[in-house]
Structure 1
Amino acid sequence: MLNGSSGLVVETSGRLLTASEFQNLANVPPEVEWFANIENANTRRAYKSDVQEFMRFAGIHQAEEFRLVKRSHLIAWRKQLETRVLEAATVRRKLSAVASLFDYLCECNAVPFNPADGVKRPNQGANEGKSPALGDEQAKAILEAPSPNTIKGLRDRAILSVLLFHGLRRAELCSLSVGDLQSRRGVVHFCVQGKGGKIRFLPVHPHSSQRISEYLERSGHGDKPDNALFRPVKNSTGGLENSLTGHGVYKDVVRKYAQKLGLDASAVCVHGLRATAATNALDHEADIAKVQEWLGHASIATTRLYDRRKTKPEDSPTFKVSY
């Protein structure tokens, strides 16, 4: 169809919006648009919970009522959160969720300013990561913990190697397919789908390459690029093509071998292995900007949470004292 006034050609193949549907979408409140535009499922779930909590506190029942929110409402909510003795990081996240919503409302000219601006957030622990990193000997031990004689052991050895040598998030590991092992300039890389759908390519460490090869040779699905790289070994429904779940990676791999080694299972998680990889890379003089890209962080400030080079126990003056 040709619009005579603008010369714009409009493709009319496929289903078109009805006039009613068009009008309904035009009337969608920006608050709803903001939420629908959050791609990451984990972020969407957390932000939904946080915004709903603020709505309950403020007595907001309709999306339009967000336009009435002032800075004083958020300060009062922050004080209420603090009375619940929540961790500082949790309070910061909740305030950030609401601030993100109001940023979007400002962008849409739905509100004149962001009431979250200027609301002080707890800075306790803001400059250091919460996830404990394993020491080198602990990392070596957990890498060798799975049996090299069973298909599950070979799979778990490969998983732990990928986590500890590449610093992947749990969801990133689970989303890997066989076809995500790709050669670039003669070097095999992981094609990693990160947060927000961002793709990054990571060279595969020789340790992980060897373990993945051993696993795929035993599993027999190395020639199926569309198959999940890390699959269940057994499944009550009989289907083994699907990827492991994030919970399965934590419960049946990371926590299992941490307990086997007598490590504090509550302190060893998938994110703890990511922290271990980042800390180790920085300890061995990796450039922090490169580590930021490697981890898929949007901000280098997040990467700095893993930079513990100034807090090594062995460098403490404690061990310089001699009598």
Structure 2
Amino acid sequence: MDPRPGPRSSRRAGDAAVGGGGDAPAGLAPAVAEQLDRFLRHLELERGRSRHTVRAYRGDLTTLLTGLADLTELDLRALRGWLTAQHTAGAGRSTLARRAAAARTFTAWARRDGLIETDPGARLASPRPHRTLPAVPDAEQTAEVLTAAESGSAQGDPVALRDRLVLELLYATGVRVGELCGLDLADVDLDRRTLRVVGKGDRERTVVFGVPAAAALRRWLDDGRPALVRPTSPRALLLGARGGRLDPRVARTVVHRALAAVPGAPDVGPHGLRHAAATHMLEGGADLRYVQELLGHAKLATTQLYTHVTVERLKVVHEQAHPRA
């Protein structure tokens, strides 16, 4: 495939911008709503944040700014009172940490933009989230899922061929489901068995996949995709039943359905296959830096979460096999 001239946005053509526009949310003063929209456009257009991230910021900050006449009322006391109210309403540590981070990002922007004289968010503390990983299917359960998908695609049904490829690539590469559905044909190098993926912050990386995923990909390109493609279809690698780009929600359904068919397998969805890929590679002796690159983590500390899982696995093996356990 021909290489692209440079990085592309993770948002596909036709996606609507979500930063601004529309009526002010209920409870927001018009001036405050306008400033929030400016901030959201800043996130989207200048910092390259995804539509999902911008939407999350809008929701969190709307609860913070509701009832304020202007941003000068946004001081440290107001921020702490807002977090306390969230905690009283039952928000967990991870939710509180995320909302506090959103508030700090907003107040820092407002200070730089001259909307407030000081940055109250710089002094806002929040609880650290408990960073845990969900249960993941073990290697045997994952193999059973993929074997069933291969058998189901044997008759050549194009949707079954696509679903098999979804499962194979999610597990083989550890990509996020949005990254997978965002792939174009030009992102595939079947000879080298690589994909070019655009992840968070429009960071581009190359991921590799093995022989089983390559076989599923070739079968999809030869027999599956041509049966679903329409004159108006995009150059997307994965297509829906009507010829459009595959919706991540459909991919999630594919994974949930496949895992549900395997007795004892946790129902974890696409992100669970991503966690399984990382966990199984580390258990197999992969270097942590390699797993970081494959998953597209900006910080090694994020990848190191998986070492906890493998240490627990080592404890189990030690207890079962060591004579002095």
Q: TM-score, normalised by structure 1?
A: 0.76
The correspondence of residues 26-41 of structure 1 with structure 2, limited to 5 A, is 31-39=36-44, 40-41=50-51
Instruction: Give the counterpart of 2:200 among 192, 195, 206.
Output: 195
CA contact (8 A) 1:167 1:277 kept: yes
Matched residue type, 2:112: E
Q: Is the 8 A contact 2:158 2:220 kept in 1?
A: yes
Residues 1:290 and 2:295 are matched in the alignment = no
- CA shift for structure 1 position 72: 1.7
What per-residue deviation string (whole Å, max 9, x for no partner) do you get for residues 241-261 of structure 1? x1110111111x111112222
Match of 2:237 among 222, 229, 232: 229
Q: Residues 124 and 166 (structure 1 numbering): CA distance in 2 closer, same or farther, change over 3 Å?
A: same
Give the deviation of 1:156 after TM superposition.
Answer: 1.3
Secondary structure of the structure 1 residue equivalent to 2:221 = helix
Compare CA radii of gyration and give the structure with the larger one: 1
SS at match of 2:226: coil
Which of 201-210 and 168-177 deviates more? 201-210
Alpha-carbon distance in 2 for matches of 1:310, 1:73: 43
> What corresponds to 1:48 in structure 2?
58
In the other structure, the counterpart of 1:3 is none
Distance 2:278 2:118 in 1: 38
1:38-187 correspondence to structure 2 within 5 Å: 38-39=43-44, 40-56=50-66, 59-61=67-69, 65-126=70-131, 128-129=132-133, 131-146=134-149, 147-149=152-154, 150-182=157-189, 187=192
Partner residue in 2 for 1:248: 250
Summarize deviations over 1:123-165 as a string: whole Å, max 9, x none: 2413x33x33221111111112221323222221111111011
Q: Which runs of 5+ in 1 are unaligned?
A: 1-27
Residue aligned with 2:194, SS: strand
Tell me the residue number matched to 2:16: none
The one-letter amino acid of 1:296's match is G
2:280 corresponding residue in structure 1: 280
Aligned partner letter, 1:84: A
Q: Distance in 2 between matches of 1:108 and 1:286?
A: 46
CA 132–113 in structure 1, closer or farther in 2 if over 3 Å, else same: farther
In the other structure, the counterpart of 1:17 is: none
SS in 1 for 2:193: strand
SS in 2 for 1:190: strand
Q: Deviation per CA, 1:207-234, whole angstroms, max 9, x where unpaired?
A: 2111111122212539x996221112x3
CA contact (8 A) 1:88 1:124 kept: yes
Deviation beyond 6 Å, 4+ runs, structure 1: 320-323
Q: Deviations over 1:17-58 (max 9, x none)?
A: xxxxxxxxxxx97643321022301001111100011123xx
Change over 3 Å in CA distance of 1:244–1:50 after alignment to 2: same
Counterpart CA distance in 1 for 2:196 and 2:291 is 17
Q: Is the 8 A contact 1:144 1:157 kept in 2?
A: no
**Aligned amino acid, residue 133 of structure 1:** V
Identity across matched positions, percent: 24
Task: Please say if 1:259 is aligned against 2:260.
Answer: yes
Shift of 1:314: 5.0
The 1-side partners of 2:212 and 2:287 are apart by: 22
Alignment correspondent of 1:218? 223
Quote how far apart the aligned CAs of 1:264 are: 6.1
1:68: Cα distance to partner? Answer: 2.9
Number of equivalent positions: 278
1:321 CA displacement:
9.8
TM-score (norm 2): 0.76
Please report how far the alpha carbon of residue 309 of structure 1 lies from its aligned counterpart in structure 2 after TM superposition: 4.3
Which region of structure 1 is more displaced relative to structure 2, 153-162 or 297-306?
297-306
Establish whether residue 312 from structure 1 lines up as the match of residue 301 from structure 2. no
Residues 145 and 44 of structure 1: is their aligned pair in 2 closer, same or farther, counting only changes over 3 Å? same
